[in-house]
Amino acid sequence: MRLSAAVAALLTAGAGVAGAHVASAATAGCQVVYTVTSEWPGGFGASVSVRNLGDPINGWKLTWSFPAGQTITQLWNGTHTQSGSQVTVTNASYNGDLPSGGSAGFGFNGSWNGSNPVPSGFALNGVACTGGVTSPSPSPSPSPTPSPTPSPSASPSASPTPPTRPAIENNFPVTREGAYGTNRYTVFRPSNPSSVGRPMPVLVFGNGACAHTNGSEVIQALTFIAARGFVVVDTASVDGASNGVQSGSPIPSLLTDGISWAERENSRAGSPLYQRLDLSKVATAGHSCGGLEALIAGQDRRVKSVVSLDSGLFADGSFGYSRAELAKLHTPVMFLDGGPSDIAYDNTRANYDLTQVAAVLAEHPQAGHVGFITGSQMTDGMTTVVQFLDMTLNGNATARAYILGSSGLAAKAPWTVRTKNF
């Protein structure tokens, strides 16, 4: 199922730019593509691409008005303000320069109630978008030719990802599909892998209740991760069909076999992932029972990072794995729990205390056992996961400050954070 381009709007613009920072005010124009990349009850994700068709711009603002009271809850690759339905997005420090024909993009998550129609009336630096380019005085030279207009269903092309850009600021359209050659996995990946601009890390994910057939519970959360430039291999068939694997008990080999599947796809000519994966950057993660799978599979030497969500190995060795397994971890690990109401709360804390590698314990007292996966804490939880993966797999300094710094996650109420061995 392709989640990108669920709704898209293309608007082309042109008029003299008043008050904009431009090298020359001779001509101005733009085109904007607004795409709803995913949607769920009460919420949605969107990406916006703006192309400058006029003279070079140094610093931009894009404005529009939501037609049905939608609200932006999180935005990346820019900063935003919203007053009622009116939205203003200003460039980030690294994407403010728009040469003639140049583009910038940003993405956001939002909330909606009742309906989620596409906005119109975009304006670049204060001038309404109506199409073409204009000049304040006649000129014998032809006006710049607008870039070809993509179809409404087309996703905006993304600029190559700067190495220093935090992964959380990406928002690539995502494709969800069955794994090639097997019905044991569902793959979440950026729809256009080349748009990521660099080989992508791989995350293999174990589902709550060790669900090895139906992975519908995690679609929203794993789409969020994949949109940040990761390829996620989930241990369930794409359509919930029987795949010969029983559910209810941990099978860590499903995760390690998922890594092997990714290795084959990276080498298979004709695969959309052909030579697009960075297999030196592999992580395991899982929720609840799937977190046990992730902790055991994380012992594989191909793994460089582990995330356990609302989970942990039991003191009595339930499911056949004792807490002695924690001593076999060789990578950084992050434990997340949802506070005292989380049935895994005590277990998560005990596992963190026993872990000998670099570790993070992040706790959100309102999330309970499933809030990071299906509740209102999903964005907070998956943002934390992405930042941890970006720190441990990509070595991103901004992500490291978010996870380990006193002004990062630890400063976001109601989170509490403990770390060791970093």
Averaged pLDDT, 224-245: 94
Q: Letter for the amino acid at 37?
A: T
The least confident of 111-120, 202-211, 256-265 is 111-120
Query: What is the reported pLDDT for 12?
Result: 42
The least confident of 62-76, 88-102, 254-268, 391-405 is 88-102
For residue 140, pLDDT over 70 is answered with no
For residue 157, pLDDT over 60 is answered with no
On average, the pLDDT of the chain sits at 85
- Give the tens place of pLDDT for each residue, 1-49: 434 433 344 444 333 333 333 333 457 778 777 878 777 788 888 888 7
Query: What is the reported pLDDT for 206?
Result: 98
Query: What is the reported pLDDT for 277?
Result: 95
> Binning pLDDT at 50, 70 and 90, where does residue 131 land?
low
Query: What is the reported pLDDT for 134?
Result: 56
**What's the Cα-to-Cα distance from 69 to each of 7, 65, 113, 292, 409, rounded to whole Å?**
17, 9, 8, 42, 29
Query: What is the reported pLDDT for 136?
Result: 47
Residue 376: partners with Cβ closer than 8 Å, 6 or more residues away: none
For residue 94, pLDDT over 90 is answered with no
- Give the tens place of pLDDT for each residue, 292-312: 999 999 999 999 999 999 999
Whether pTM > 0.85 for this model: the answer is no
- Give the tens place of pLDDT for each residue, 261-298: 999 999 999 999 999 999 999 999 999 999 999 999 99
Q: Closest Cα partner for 206 from 311, 276, 348?
A: 311
Percent of the chain having pLDDT more than 90? 65
For residue 186, pLDDT over 60 is answered with yes
For residue 162, pLDDT over 80 is answered with no
Domain ranges of the chain: 7-128, 167-420
Query: What is the reported pLDDT for 48?
Result: 81
Pick among 1.20.120.420, 3.30.70.100, 3.10.20.600, 2.60.40.290: CATH of 7-128 = 2.60.40.290
The CATH number of 167-420 is 3.40.50.1820
